[in-house]
């Protein structure tokens, strides 16, 4: 992971992007936000489960300035996905819909959070845009309000029916902090507690190089399966994680696998937090392994390339390794003992 990409470089890139894009510029305001890596607990946030993400050192910087005229304008040093504009414009639209008087603005982005890699580049962008715009207009929002606004922007304007994990983790992280703790987030209650990682645990992130786009449909299809499984069991989706083995087995085969993932993954997150608090890194690693197997075999969201990265990390002595985030490519999170 890079550590030379810091606000100064981002600021230079952003100012350059502004100069190329707009002729009359006012004061430029910068907002910044971290990415996140989920240690364990994937594809359970939209089912009201518990998750254990941590903010990444990589950040996204967004510059905004009021412009003359009546239209917003987007310009970018953002590498990769050109659809970033939809996320940025979505956040601005949601701020305006919420009654915040945002003048026509220009937006520029610079980021070292890899796009489509399962590290929440979209949440980082959304929260950075919201922070910049709020500063520009002299308004403030709580991290929880920011997270919910960003999630709405993603649902409505980017068409991704995501859960709350990414936006919540990113909105509660301070991009100026030297280090971050993990958070245990209860997605149903929208409450979290901080979980400090043992000094002897080293977390690494390895990029498989395979890029996903959550909009491609696989994510929404898995989410639909989870909701259908809950409905067939006559349970609110937030209570699917409490289903018994017998209930799960009563479902059609594919839905049973999806439901089993949700039930077992939520239990693994709780066990992982318990292991971390006891300093039992071996158990923590095993739970990461089990989580990966469940996402691969029951939830069908891994890929052969990602599986290979996991296997290689284990062969090199990791305690545990698993895909992280929405899946269909992206990064692997690896736990090692120091």
Catalytic residues, which ones? Answer: 166
Q: How far is the CB of 304 from ligand GLA (least distance, A)?
A: 20
In the set 45, 94, 112, 225, which binds ligand GLA (CB under 6 A)? 45
Give the nearer residue to ligand GLA in terms of CB position, either 108 or 268. Answer: 268
CB proximity list for 14: less than 8 A, separation 6 or greater: 28, 30, 61, 62, 63, 77, 108, 109, 110
> Which of 133, 135, 113, 132 lies closest to 123, judged by CA?
113
Strand residues in 9-157 grouped as ranges (E): 29-38, 50-51, 53-66, 73-76, 105-111
Query: With binding defined as CB under 6 A, does residue 163 bind ligand GLA?
Result: yes
Which DSSP helix (H) or strand (E) runs through 219?
helix 218-232
Q: 334 forms bridges with which residues in the sheet?
A: 204, 321
CB proximity list for 224: less than 8 A, separation 6 or greater: none
In the set 18, 46, 84, 328, which binds ligand GLA (CB under 6 A)? 46
Give the nearer residue to ligand GLA in terms of CB position, either 26 or 81. Answer: 81
In this chain, which stretch among 42-50, 67-75, 135-143, 199-207 interacts with ligand GLA, using CB under 6 A? 42-50
Query: With binding defined as CB under 6 A, does residue 325 bind ligand GLA?
Result: yes
Give the nearer residue to ligand GLA in terms of CB position, either 48 or 325. Answer: 325
Q: How far is the CB of 324 from ligand GLA (least distance, A)?
A: 8
CA 225/CA 254 separation, integer angstroms: 8
Cβ count near 250 (within 10 Å): 14
Give the nearer residue to ligand GLA in terms of CB position, either 76 or 151. Answer: 151
Q: How far is the CB of 266 from ligand GLA (least distance, A)?
A: 12
Which DSSP helix (H) or strand (E) runs through 221?
helix 218-232
CA 143/CA 167 separation, integer angstroms: 9
Give the nearer residue to ligand GLA in terms of CB position, either 238 or 280. Answer: 238
Strand residues in the chain grouped as ranges (E): 29-38, 50-51, 53-66, 73-76, 105-111, 182-186, 191-195, 201-207, 320-323, 331-337
In the set 18, 42, 149, 294, which binds ligand GLA (CB under 6 A)? 42
In the set 106, 136, 165, 251, which binds ligand GLA (CB under 6 A)? 165
Interaction pattern, residues 50-89, with ligand GLA; x per rule: CB under 6 A:
----------------------------------------
Q: How far is the CB of 223 from ligand GLA (least distance, A)?
A: 8
In the set 90, 116, 285, 326, which binds ligand GLA (CB under 6 A)? 326
CB proximity list for 286: less than 8 A, separation 6 or greater: 319, 320
In the set 72, 112, 126, 166, which binds ligand GLA (CB under 6 A)? 166
CA 50/CA 41 separation, integer angstroms: 7
Give the nearer residue to ligand GLA in terms of CB position, either 165 or 248. Answer: 165
Give the nearer residue to ligand GLA in terms of CB position, either 132 or 165. Answer: 165
CA distances from 327 to 159, 201, 207, 305, 307 (A): 17, 24, 12, 11, 11
Q: How far is the CB of 295 from ligand GLA (least distance, A)?
A: 9
The count of chain residues that interact with ligand GLA, using the rule CB under 6 A, is 11
Cβ count near 14 (within 10 Å): 26
Q: 30 forms bridges with which residues in the sheet?
A: 63
In this chain, which stretch among 1-9, 23-31, 157-165, 200-208 interacts with ligand GLA, using CB under 6 A? 157-165
Query: With binding defined as CB under 6 A, does residue 43 bind ligand GLA?
Result: yes
**Residues within the interface to ligand GLA (CB under 6 A):** 38, 42-43, 45-46, 162-163, 165-166, 325-326
């Amino acid at each position: 992971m890079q550590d030379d990409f810091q606000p100064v470089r981002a600021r230079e890139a952003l100012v350059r992007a502004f100069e190329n894009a707009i002729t009359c510029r006012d004061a430029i305001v910068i907002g910044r936000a971290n990415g996140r890596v989920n240690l364990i607990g994937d594809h359970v946030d939209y089912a009201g489960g518990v998750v254990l993400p941590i903010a990444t050192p990589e950040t996204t910087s967004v510059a905004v300035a009021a412009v003359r005229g009546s239209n917003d304008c987007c310009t970018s040093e953002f590498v990769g996905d050109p659809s970033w504009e939809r996320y940025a414009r979505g956040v601005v639209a949601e701020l305006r819909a919420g009654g915040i008087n945002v003048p026509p603005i220009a937006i520029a982005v610079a980021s070292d959070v890899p796009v489509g890699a399962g590290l929440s580049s979209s949440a980082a962008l959304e929260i950075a845009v919201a922070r910049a715009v709020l500063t520009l207009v002299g308004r403030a929002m709580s991290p929880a309000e920011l997270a919910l606004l960003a999630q709405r922007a993603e649902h409505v304007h980017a068409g991704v029916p995501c859960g709350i994990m990414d936006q919540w983790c990113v909105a509660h992280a301070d991009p100026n902090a030297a280090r971050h703790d993990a958070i245990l987030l209860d997605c149903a209650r929208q409450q979290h507690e901080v979980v400090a990682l043992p000094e002897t645990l080293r977390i690494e992130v390895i990029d498989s190089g395979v890029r996903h786009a959550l909009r491609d449909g696989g994510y929404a299809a898995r989410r639909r399966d989870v909701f259908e499984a809950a409905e067939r069991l006559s349970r609110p989706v937030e209570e699917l994680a409490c289903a018994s083995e017998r209930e799960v087995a009563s479902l059609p085969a594919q839905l049973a696998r999806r439901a089993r993932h949700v039930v077992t993954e939520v239990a693994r997150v709780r066990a992982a937090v318990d292991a971390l608090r006891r300093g039992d890194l071996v158990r923590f690693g095993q739970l990461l392994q089990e989580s990966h197997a469940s996402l691969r075999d029951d939830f069908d969201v891994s890929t052969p390339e990602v599986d290979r990265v996991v296997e290689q990390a284990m062969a090199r002595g990791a305690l545990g390794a698993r895909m992280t985030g929405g899946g269909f490519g992206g990064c692997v999170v690896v736990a090692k003992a120091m």
